[in-house]
């Protein structure tokens, strides 16, 4: 639906190993990935799992595009790197940098001056306040809130609805309000 919202983007095909999927919304599934098909097309990896998305990205020979839904709002001084997807009604404010292969999911807000690492997933209805840094591979759960000027490490899992009011080290799992580290 993101591609459909941008009339200039045509989806040429889908690569999915699941042979029971013959097509996706009328778009043919060509099975496992082939670098020989659609050589001039840009690719997007439509996998929500950050680590799996990273693994698959290493196997793709196509150049990567990005998908930005027409209802999203992105400040002109923010940047979004290749492979990233910005979903319906997401907001990305001024001077924010979104890394490669990120998902900024439905109705999420990433405020000003944030740095979002590669392969990050910001789940639906999440609020990332100004000046926040999120390390690569991190999942920020649905409706989580990260207060201003917080640094989140790499490969962190922040639970749905968590309120993060302290810096979080690499590899931690955080849940609750206020957020408590339950795994280091």
Active site residues: 112
Pull the structure tokens for residue 16: 């999915």
Q: State CA 109 to chain mean position distance.
A: 13
CA distances from 79 to 84, 108, 119 (A): 11, 16, 15
Residues 6+ apart with CB under 8 A from 52: none
Pull the structure tokens for residue 104: 């900024």
Answer whether 99's CB lies under 8 Å from 120's CB.
yes
């Amino acid at each position: 639906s993101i591609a459909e919202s941008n009339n200039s983007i045509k989806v040429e095909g889908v690569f999915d190993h699941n042979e029971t999927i013959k097509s996706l919304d009328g778009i043919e599934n060509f099975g496992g990935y082939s670098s020989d098909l659609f050589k001039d097309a840009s690719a997007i990896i439509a996998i929500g799992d950050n680590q799996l998305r990273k693994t698959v990205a290493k196997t793709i020979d196509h150049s990567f595009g990005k998908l930005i839904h027409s209802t999203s709002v992105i400040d002109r001084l923010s940047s979004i790197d290749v492979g990233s997807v910005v979903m319906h009604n997401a907001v990305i404010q001024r001077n924010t940098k979104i890394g490669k292969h990120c998902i900024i999911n439905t109705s999420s807000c990433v405020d000003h001056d944030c740095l979002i690492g590669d392969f990050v997933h910001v789940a639906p209805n999440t609020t990332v306040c100004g000046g926040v840094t999120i390390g690569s591979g991190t999942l920020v759960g649905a409706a989580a809130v990260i207060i201003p000027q917080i640094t989140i490490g790499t490969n962190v899992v922040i639970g749905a609805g968590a309120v993060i009011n302290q810096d979080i080290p690499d590899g931690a799992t955080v849940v609750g309000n206020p957020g408590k580290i339950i795994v280091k």
